[in-house]
């Protein structure tokens, strides 16, 4: 099954109402490859979700940056999966490295969140990735396999899952993507391995996106800093590297 190129823009904890309006206006005005070639998903902070939903072009989708691990209730400061569904937000990013490292989210906690969000009908961008220390110790594949295993145990249908490999230490080569696809093939099944999009995050920008997109096992990006700038459009357009390489 062909994997449609995926470009996610993670706005993280940035912006004002005016910034968001400007950014959405820019995105609304640009010409990008068709929806057959690239799936674009932007992820504003929670407070801006309704605004972005009201203003954003309909061929781009929206993701929240997190959600609570189970049904809502007495969990001060949290946002539930049900609320996102109620708001008409189709996607959620879970297990981002900043939440794992700064807020102590464990593999099991992230996995529970993924399972619950999927059970509520949300689509999930599930993030995995090692720290520089783990990389230097040679344990990259062990770390991302353990993170992926915890998540995989909570997934019945992979159709609504994108795996984002975001090494905490930035720029990548695509090698871990091949490793992850092999892991899925050996531990889930060949069909899931060939159909699940494994995207890359970590300093993706207009200058490096085409080279990264050309890696056979990189199926798109989760972009941080550059998703707040006009160069995000160039990153969306890098999807054509994939469609042209498929034709050749």
Query: 157 pairs with which residues across the strands?
Result: none
Helices (H), the chain: 17-29, 49-55, 81-87, 97-102, 107-119, 132-136, 140-152, 175-187, 190-195, 209-213, 232-237, 239-247
CB 231 within 8 A of CB 21: no
Of 187 and 208, nearer to ligand 13P (C-beta) is 208
Minimum separation from the CB atom of position 96 to ligand 13P (A): 6
Residue with tokens 């949290």: 78
Of 8 and 179, nearer to ligand 13P (C-beta) is 8
Residue nearest to ligand 13P (CB): 224
- Annotated active-site residue 96? The verdict is yes
Minimum separation from the CB atom of position 224 to ligand 13P (A): 2
Of 15 and 225, nearer to ligand 13P (C-beta) is 225
Minimum separation from the CB atom of position 162 to ligand 13P (A): 12
CB 133 within 8 A of CB 175: no
Q: Which of 96, 105, 130, 177 is catalytic?
A: 96
Residue with tokens 């969306």: 236
Of 10 and 238, nearer to ligand 13P (C-beta) is 10
Binding positions for ligand 13P, rule: CB under 6 A: 10, 96, 166, 201-204, 222-226
Query: 163 pairs with which residues across the strands?
Result: 126, 198
Minimum separation from the CB atom of position 76 to ligand 13P (A): 26
Q: Which of 39, 105, 130, 166 is catalytic?
A: 166
3-state helix, strand, coil in the chain (%, to 5): 45, 15, 40
Nearby residues of 74 by Cβ (< 8 Å), 6 or more positions away? none
Q: Catalytic residue positions?
A: 96, 166
């Amino acid at each position: 099954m062909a994997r449609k190129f995926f470009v996610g823009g993670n706005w993280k904890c940035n912006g004002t109402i005016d910034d968001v309006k400007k950014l959405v206006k820019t995105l609304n005005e640009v010409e990008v490859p068709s929806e057959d070639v690239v799936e674009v998903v932007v992820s504003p902070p929670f407070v801006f979700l309704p605004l972005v939903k009201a203003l954003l072009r309909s061929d781009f989708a929206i993701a929240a940056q997190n959600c609570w691990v189970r049904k809502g209730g007495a969990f001060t400061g949290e946002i539930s999966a049900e609320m996102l569904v109620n708001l008409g937000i189709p996607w959620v990013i879970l297990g981002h490295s900043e939440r794992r490292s700064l807020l102590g989210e464990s593999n099991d906690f992230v996995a529970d969140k993924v399972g619950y969000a999927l059970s509520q009908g949300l689509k999930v961008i599930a993030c995995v990735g090692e720290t520089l220390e783990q990389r230097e110790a040679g344990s990259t594949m062990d770390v991302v396999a353990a993170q992926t295993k915890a998540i995989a145990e909570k997934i019945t249908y992979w159709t609504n899952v994108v795996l984002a490999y975001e090494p905490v230490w930035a720029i990548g080569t695509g090698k871990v993507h091949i490793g992850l696809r092999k892991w899925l093939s050996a531990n889930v099944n060949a069909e899931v391995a060939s159909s699940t999009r494994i995207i890359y995050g970590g300093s993706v920008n207009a200058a490096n996106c085409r080279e990264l997109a050309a890696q056979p096992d990189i199926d798109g990006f989760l972009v941080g800093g550059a998703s707040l700038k006009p160069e995000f459009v160039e990153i969306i357009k890098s999807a054509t590297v994939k469609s042209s390489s498929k034709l050749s």
